Structure formats: structure tokens, C-alpha cells
Amino acid sequence: MRTRFISIGLMALMAASVWVGCGSVGEQDAEYKLSKGIWLQGIGDFVRAKREFERVLSDYPETKAATEAKTMLDQIKVAMLNRAHELKDRGQFAKAEGLCNRIISEYRGTNEASAAEGLLNLMRERYNRVAYEDLRQAYRVAQDYFDDYPTGKIDLGRLHYYGLEESPGVTFEILDDRREGLVMTGQHSAGSKIYTVFHDGRVEEKGRE
């Protein structure tokens, strides 16, 4: 879908920029700005795309391009939501979260805003679980290391050497690297919680600030 938008936008932009000797200059300018907006939307630049559509409406309200620009403005929130899903699927969690927050802020009360809130909650719940499971894995790997080196001290390098493979977006912090006082935290960049595991395997959670 995104490739199709880009292709359509590029072709329309090229066509609109060619002088064909028909229609007023205003109509041609409106078509050019509309095509530019469609192209910008296709590459995910929604801020500039919205600006182009709004310019068509304000500067050329009586043109055919203005009618289509209004339609594109009405649909841009759908395109933003689709883009947020794409970013989430690619593991670009911070960008997906930022786009969801923009939809919620700019289109409050719409179906798309509700869907963006749902996507945010889904991401946070899912990635909280990922962080929890990865931290449990890190704890088990640490125990394997301590079985071999009872008086040793762990770090992320040793955990990776012993087989730790954290998921994309998950980060750990070792607060106490000894077996008898082990404390590690884990969180996901798209999650809403920080988990802490202690030397006895107990896990506590708290909300991220």
C-alpha cells in the first residue's frame, strides 16, 4: 500500500508539474500542491502532507483539487494509523508510539483516535510481557554462570556469552552483580513497566515514569 501511494504520488507530481496549456494557473498550482501532498503522505511525512492539503483548501477553494484535498485530509488519520502499525511491525516502537500519540492528540473523539489508544495499550501489554520473559531468561542465565563461578560477578557480556538473547527493544541494568545480592532490571522501550528480579528469583514491577 505504501509503495502504491509513493508511485501514484510521484506520477501525479510529475504530471502536475508539466505545462499542458489548459486550465488556469491557479488550477495548475492547486493540482501540483495536491500531488505533492499525496506524495508526502506516501512517504510518511504527514505533517507536510497535511500542510499541502490545507494550502489547497485555503488558497484554491473553488478548484477540483480542493475537493480531493478535503478528502485526503479526512483520510490522513487513517493513513497515520496504518503507518503506526507498520512501524510497530518493524520494531520501530518509539516512532509508532509517537505517531499514535499524535493521532490521539489531533483527532480526539474519532474512531482512529480510539484505535490508536488501543494500539498503544496492545503494544505496551505485549512488550511488558516480552520484557518480563527476557528478564526471567537473564536470571536463569545468571544462575548458570554462578554455578560455574560462585564468587564471580556478572555483566551483560558474560550473560550473552552464556546464551542470553534479549528481544529487540528490551534493555537490562545490573544493579548488583553478585550471586548473593543479585538485582537486575528489565524493560521494553515500548512498554509501560520496569521489572526487577532479585537473587532469590522474586520479580517486582513498577510503572515507568
Long-range contacts (CB closer than 8 Å, 24 or more residues apart) made by 97-105 = 97/123, 97/190, 99/46, 102/46, 103/77
For the residues 169-177, what does the mean pLDDT come to?
A: 96
The residue written with cell numbers 503522505 in the block is 41
How high is the mean pLDDT of the chain? 88
pLDDT in tens, 23-49: 577 889 999 999 999 999 988 899 999
More confident residue, 66 or 25: 66
- DSSP for 88-114 reads HHTT-HHHHHHHHHHHHHHSTTSHHHH
Q: What is the pTM of this model?
A: 0.62
Long-range contacts (CB closer than 8 Å, 24 or more residues apart) made by 193-199 = 193/128, 193/131, 195/131, 195/132, 195/135, 197/135, 197/136, 197/138, 197/139
For the residues 62-82, what does the mean pLDDT come to?
A: 93
Contact partners, residue 85, CB within 8 Å, separation at least 6: 96, 119
Q: State the pLDDT confidence band at 162, using cuts at 50, 70 and 90.
A: very high
For the residues 151-174, what does the mean pLDDT come to?
A: 96
pLDDT in tens, 102-160: 999 999 999 999 999 999 998 889 899 999 999 999 999 999 999 999 999 999 999 99
* pLDDT for 149: 97
